[in-house]
A and B are shown apart, each in its own frame.
Chain A
Amino acid sequence: DVKVTQSSRYLVKRTGEKVFLECVQDMDHENMFWYRQDPGLGLRLIYFSYDVKMKEKGDIPEGYSVSREKKERFSLILESASTNQTSMYLCASSPTTYEQYFGPGTRLTVT
C-alpha cells in the first residue's frame, strides 16, 4: 500500500513564525503536491514537484515556498505565518499515472 505521511496532524503557530510542514512518501513516486483545504473552497493546489529539486507553482503559491531535496520528501514552508494561512494542509504523491495518494493532513492554526 502507498503510504504518505505528514509530520504533524495538528500544529499551532504564532503570526510571523517560520513554519515547516513535512511530507514523506514511500512508493518512489515522481510527483508530489501540496494543497490546502478550506470550507467552501475545496482543495487548492499550492505547489507541486515532478522531480527532485524541481517545483512549479500551483494556483495559490503566495506566502509559501517548497523544497524537494530527496525524491521521497516534499516540504512546504510558510516563511512568515499569517492568520489567513490557518487551514488544513494536504500532501499527495503520484507516479506517472493519474491517481494521487493523499496523506492524513495537517491542521495548522496561526494565532
Chain B
Amino acid sequence: DQQVKQNSPSLSVQEGRISILNCDYTNSMFDYFLWYKKYPAEGPTFLISISSIKDKNEDGRFTVFLNKSAKHLSLHIVPSQPGDSAVYFCAASDATGTYKYIFGTGTRLKVLA
C-alpha cells in the first residue's frame, strides 16, 4: 500500500521551460512534505519543504505547491536547466514526532539542452 505516489516515472523537458513533478498521498495525517534530488551514485540532497499550514513555498527556481483537499503536491522548476536532470523524490511525514518519512518512488527528470 503505497501511501506516497509519484505516478510519472520519468519526465523530459526542454531547457528554459517549466518542469512540474507531481506527488499524491493518501494519509490525511501527513503534515510535512519534502522534496529531494538524487544524482546517480550519490545520496539524495534536500531541495525544499512545505508544512501543511501553507499551500506554497518558494526557493529560487523551485516552488512547491500543496493542495491538502486533493492530497496532492507538486514541485515546479522554472527555468529548467540541464543540471536539474536527476531523480526527484517526494517524502511525507505525519505529526507523530518521530521524523520518520514515507518516500515516493521517484520521478526521473531529464532536461534537454
A residues with a Cβ closer than 8 A to B are 4, 9, 31, 33, 35, 40-45, 48, 50, 56, 58-59, 90, 92, 94, 96-105
Q: Is the CB of B9 within 8 A of A40?
A: yes
Given contacts A40-B105, A41-B105, A42-B89, contact A101 B46 (CB under 8 A): yes
- For the complex formed, measure the closest distance between the CB of A17 and the CB atoms of chain B, giving whole angstroms: 24
Set B4, B9, B46: member contacting A99, Cβ < 8 A: B46
Chain B residues whose C-beta falls within 8 Å of the C-beta of A48 in the assembled complex:
98, 100
In the complex, what residues of A have CB within 8 A of residue B74's CB? none
B89 near A99 with CB under 8 A, answer no
How many B residues touch A, CB cutoff 8 Å? Answer: 25
Q: Contact at B43–A104, with CB atoms within 8 Å?
A: yes
Query: Which residues in B have their C-beta under 8 angstroms from that of A100?
Result: 34, 46, 99, 101
Give complex CA distance A97, B99 in Å.
7
A11 to chain B, nearest CB (A): 14
Known: A56-B98, A103-B43. A98 touches B104 (CB 8 A): no
Contacts of A56 in B (CB 8 A): 98
Q: Are A4 and B43 in contact (CB under 8 A)?
A: yes
Asked whether A104 and B42 contact (CB < 8 A) given A41-B105, A98-B49, A98-B93, the answer is yes
Taking a contact as CB atoms under 8 Å apart, the answer to whether B44 and A42 are in contact is no
Q: Which residues of A contact B106 (CB under 8 A)?
A: 42
Q: Which of B41, B49, B93 contacts A104 (CB 8 A)?
A: B41
B42 A45 Cβ-Cβ under 8 A: no
List the B side residues contacting A92 at CB < 8 Å: 43
Assembled-state Cα–Cα distance A104/B41 (Å)? 7
In residues 1-27 of chain B, which contact A (Cβ within 8 Å)? 4, 6, 9
